[in-house]
């Protein structure tokens, strides 16, 4: 059976035009305003020409989206793809996308494999979390889709449709029908359910079937389409098991009502080293560039933080003398004549991972 597929990548011109809807009955989308998991693991993909799609973290540094989001009509991989997170208030890091693996280079004639996996240059899954994958897509209600539809909030805020349904497979094409409301820009959106606190992907939103944009009710003739998870799950697992080197990093988030001026101490079984000063604006987050010995060592370092004018609280306090600029390695026992600074322990670094510190 032939049918019209409308792929849901937003081209640059769509930012100044109303993108076609694919909505059934009332538009059930609401703005994605929460930064909690799993919404923290949803990304907005954009290329240098300004077109955009949606993607989801499926590993520490892996994203899942559609093949037509990362390749052009000739099947060539697009260059200069950027991914931005909306996982924290007032903090939307942008990362580069590389190592693209396409399910197909001919997505128009092979919609069953309109999926793609790519790697990002920071393991943001360490701090934002990532989606799990179901064994196989299950027909039925109770699913959620969140995508950066071009008609919704200018494509800058994702629209979320909860309790939508997977309707069944079109067997000759191995694509799955669904009734989740969305428009162009939502290509690559995960369709998921929660299971024991984890978001589990059942399918990948990919296209619109039919010629109309708004429908009174869902029907097989006018449906949204998706790629079932069993089509791409094994390749995601292979990519997850690949060893990729990353820098050890710290992300510091300041929820205080004023800017913080911070110094850091790092202590392992063999090494003590300090870093100062780092300024973090109020209600924002900042990646802290670590000393090379911390960044490159496979040792775990305890992380101590000192604020010039704030009691940071935390699980453990330690006092250290100030010798020279920052004598972190000196013990406080004989510091009566020296100025003493109060450090708070915020846990340990993990080699090649990002640690988030919330202040």
DSSP string, 19-33: PPEEEESS---EE--
Choice between 261 and 89, residue whose per-residue pLDDT is larger: 261
Which range in 169-173, 200-204, 260-264 is most confidently predicted, on average pLDDT? 200-204
What is the pairing mode between strands 249-254 and 354-358? parallel
- 114 has pLDDT over 80: yes
- 292 has pLDDT over 70: yes
Q: Which domains does the chain have, with CATH numbers?
A: 5-240 (2.40.10.10), 249-358 (no CATH)
- Average pLDDT on 253-258 reads 88
Mean of the per-residue pLDDT values for the chain? 81
pTM of the predicted model as reported, rounded to 2 decimal places: 0.84
228-249 per-position pLDDT tens digit? 999 999 999 999 999 888 999 9
- Average pLDDT on 276-283 reads 88
Strand partners, 23: 214
Q: Contact at 8 Å (CB) between 115 and 203? A: no
307-333 per-position pLDDT tens digit? 877 777 655 555 555 543 445 445 545
150-165 per-position pLDDT tens digit? 776 766 788 899 999 9
In the chain, the percentage of residues whose pLDDT exceeds 90 is 37
- 257 has pLDDT over 90: no
Lowest mean pLDDT among 41-50, 152-161, 218-227, 283-292: 218-227
Q: What pLDDT does 9 receive?
A: 47
Choice between 282 and 85, residue whose per-residue pLDDT is larger: 282
What lies within 8 Å, CB to CB, of 181 at 6+ separation is 21, 22, 23, 24, 27, 28, 29, 145, 159, 161, 164
- 176 has pLDDT over 60: yes
Q: Which of 342, 251, 248 is nearest to 297 (CA)?
A: 248
């Amino acid at each position: 059976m032939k049918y019209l597929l409308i792929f849901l990548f937003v081209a640059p011109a769509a930012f100044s035009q109303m993108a076609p809807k694919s909505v059934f009955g009332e538009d059930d989308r609401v703005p994605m305003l929460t930064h909690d998991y799993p919404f923290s693991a949803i990304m907005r993909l954009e290329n240098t020409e300004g077109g955009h799609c949606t993607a989801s973290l499926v590993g520490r540094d892996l994203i899942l989206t559609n093949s037509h989001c990362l390749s052009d009509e000739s099947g060539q991989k697009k260059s200069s793809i950027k991914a931005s997170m909306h996982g924290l208030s007032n903090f939307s890091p942008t990362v580069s996308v590389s190592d693209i693996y396409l399910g197909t280079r001919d997505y128009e004639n092979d919609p069953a494999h309109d999926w793609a996996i790519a790697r990002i240059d920071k393991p943001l899954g360490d701090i934002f979390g990532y989606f799990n994958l179901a064994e196989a897509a299950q027909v039925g209600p109770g699913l959620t889709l969140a995508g950066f539809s071009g008609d919704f909030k200018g494509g800058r805020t994702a629209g979320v449709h909860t309790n939508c349904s997977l309707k069944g497979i079109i067997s000759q094409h191995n694509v799955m029908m669904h009734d989740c409301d969305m428009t162009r820009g939502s290509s690559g959106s995960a369709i998921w359910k929660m299971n024991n606190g984890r978001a589990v992907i059942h399918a990948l939103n990919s296209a619109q079937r039919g010629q109309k944009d708004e429908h009174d009710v869902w029907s097989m003739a006018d449906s949204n389409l998706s790629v079932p998870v069993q089509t791409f799950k094994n390749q995601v697992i292979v990519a997850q098991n690949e060893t990729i080197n990353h820098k050890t990093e710290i992300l510091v988030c300041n929820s205080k009502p004023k800017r913080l001026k911070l110094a850091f101490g790092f202590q392992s079984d063999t090494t003590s080293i300090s870093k100062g000063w780092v300024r973090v604006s109020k209600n924002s987050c900042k990646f802290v560039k670590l000393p090379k010995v911390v960044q490159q060592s496979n040792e775990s370092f305890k992380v101590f933080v000192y604020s010039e004018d704030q009691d940071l609280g935390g699980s453990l306090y330690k006092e250290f003398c100030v010798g020279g600029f920052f004598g972190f390695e000196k013990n406080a026992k004989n510091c009566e004549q020296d100025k003493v600074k109060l450090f708070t322990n915020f846990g340990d670094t993990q080699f090649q991972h990002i640690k988030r510190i919330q202040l």
